[in-house]
Amino acid sequence: MEPVQHVAIIGAGNMGSGIAQKSAQEGFDVQMVDREQPWVDRGQGIIAGFLEEAVERRIFSEADVAAIKGRVKGVVGTENTAPSTDLVIEAVFEDFDVKTAVFSTLDDVCEPHTILASNTSSLSVNALAEATGRPDRFVGLHFFYHPAKNRLVEVIPAATTSAETIERTVQYCKTLGKVVIVCADRPGFVVNRFFVPWLNEACLLLEEGIASAAQIDAIACKAFRIGLGPFGLMNLTGPPIALHSTDYLAEQLSTPRYTGASNLRALVEAGEMWPIGDDGTYDEATYATVSERLLGVVFGVAAQIVEEDVCSMEDVDRGAKVGLRWAKGPFELMNRVGLKEAHRMAAAYADVAGAGWSVPEFFSRQAEDGDGWDFSYVDLHMDNGVATITINRPEAMNALNETVVKQLGQAVAKAHAAEGIHTMVLDGAGKAFVAGADVKFFVDKIRADAIPDIEVFTAGGHVVLDTIEASPLTTVALTTGLALGGGLELALACDYRVGTRRSSFRFPETGIGIYPGLGGSQRPARIMGRPSARWAVLAGNMMDAGTAHALGILTHLVPISEVDATVTSIAAAGKPEAKYPGQPNDATHPVAAFAAAFYADEHVETLLAGNCPEGQDPEDKQVARQMKFLSRVAPVGLKMASDLIDATEEASLAAGLQMELDGLEAIFSTADALEGLSALIEGRRASYTGA
């Protein structure tokens, strides 16, 4: 499968320019197309404005911005789109006839391999596909505003869309760092299906005089744990969009309740925004009425989405958390309020909504049983001898918790039990491989004086990683994004680690009061030697892809377009002859050479005492940086991590891993552990006492 590299965006408005900007940021060659030069220029100006802001916030350098702008070529006229373009995304006005006219031109212009995609929030993808001359190479995309910032995208295949088209499009979206939801072509797709009725219901509550706009916004913010209520959101995105979307759902789903509220229609006709006001105070009765109506519609519609096989309940929640930035998704909210109570709210809303709206039977059965929803965060796909295990919790950067570790272990066991599997690939959904363990779990257990629970959790993680370590299969970690702490430890248990320029790694543990407890004190030293391991683990240095490859953290550093081919090559080669070489891949690399001198065995005692080793210049920037890092970590965690690294000289891997487990009670009992972990959650710098 050839990956997408050349992209064209038809429409240089806010959405189109945003998609173009994000594509260029991730290294794609982009054409931004519109009908007239002033519109193309406006799109270029929008991109320039966002990038200038990014420079001010130190997200990009001036050189980065110049390179990004250089990858965006302005084009006037759809007919002038380059024929060899791999993927064309139409992002024009949400009108079926306008969109199909664009696709008619593209059908004539583009080569047969070109995929055509429509960025639509509501129109039928199946109908659009039928209107093109390449229904097998057509797909719907729903980017969320602003597409350069919002991480969610819905991918909507038509009934005629080929598997290769879906795969190439999903890969493109993942390369953008997007959280991808592949869903069926139903009105509203996933997020808008429950979000738009939620907006309209707020309008109806206002129209009925139950509460003011300010009160409804305040109640919604509390009930859903969000920062902006429905009226504030409509003012931000534009009331006309809300009216168009809700009228569309009412028509397509034959649900009169979704017809735009008269006050919303009047507001749009007048060209005005919602007057919200400042007084959002409310009494308990008002809170109950408003919150139950808003929760009821969301709960019921979320269940309808799953009943209709649009997507999984995990993806519904993912859409809410990533696309709308809700703290919890609809199904998680149901568990929070209790499933019987959630069902009561949905049933009460059904009585209000009337014709065209009902509570799905599976929701009613689950509520009768009294059990909450169980969620799956680990996906297993087996094809052509390769088992791909994807940790699919991108809204939390795939952080490891009890559920994820348990499900990961189950997936590994299934891969081992399957016939014909020779390679096991570990991957992470979204922009991270795995961003460590769930820190809140540790804090909660320490405060509850339940450190044995931490030991049990960590021991369970060791069992899973040990199983991967001893696997007869060739094991590969696709560390193509961020891998921190426990995520990096998981990757190091694999035979190979494949990375791209977007890869980055770090062991943050000593800086948050603890030490790496899932093999992070053992495997790095055996891979790249003790001095380099000390540089990585003791000081918690961030490693970019090049440094990680030089040290041996990455076994393969390849362009994004070559990841799949690299996995195929690894699978053919089989397990490595020497998984633990005990030295860097490139000892001449500046970091490897510095670590060999600064973090040499004979310097460890001096460094632990807070002193600069003899022969090292304290005025040297690199030396000063390391001394600064070491001064900011937890002393007990630093000493224990150092001792564990030292043990790799004589102890076997199994013995070293047991030493990690044996030290857990001691490290998590320190005041510094609670301080460091709490500081991370609270977003502040920790203050350590060495206790």
Active site residues: 121, 142, 154, 192
* Residue 195, SS3 per DSSP: helix
| Residue whose token pair is 């965060």 | 377
Amino acid at 594: F
| Residue whose token pair is 């400042």 | 278
Rounded CA separation 318/297 (Å)? 18
For residue 341, what are its two tokens?
Answer: 């109570």
Omega before 113 within 30 of 0, i.e. cis: no
- Which residues have CB under 8 Å from 588's CB, separation 6+? none
128 within 8 A of 120, measured Cβ to Cβ: yes
Q: Which has the closest alpha carbon to 501: 553, 539, 546, 459?
A: 546
- List Cα–Cα distances, 294 to 222, 259, 321, 346, 613, in angstroms: 12, 16, 17, 9, 63
- In terms of DSSP H, where are the helices of 308-360? 313-318, 330-337, 339-353
In DSSP notation, 181-218 reads: EE----TTTTHHHHHHHHHHHHHHHHHTTSS-HHHHHH
486 within 8 A of 462, measured Cβ to Cβ: no
- Rounded to 5 degrees, φ, ψ at 179 are -85, 120
Q: 3-state DSSP helix/strand/coil percent for the chain, to nearest 5?
A: 55, 10, 35
Rg (CA), the chain: 27
Rounded CA separation 682/300 (Å)? 35
Rounded CA separation 330/333 (Å)? 5
Q: Which has the closest alpha carbon to 508: 541, 534, 544, 546?
A: 541
For residue 428, what are its two tokens?
Answer: 């992470």
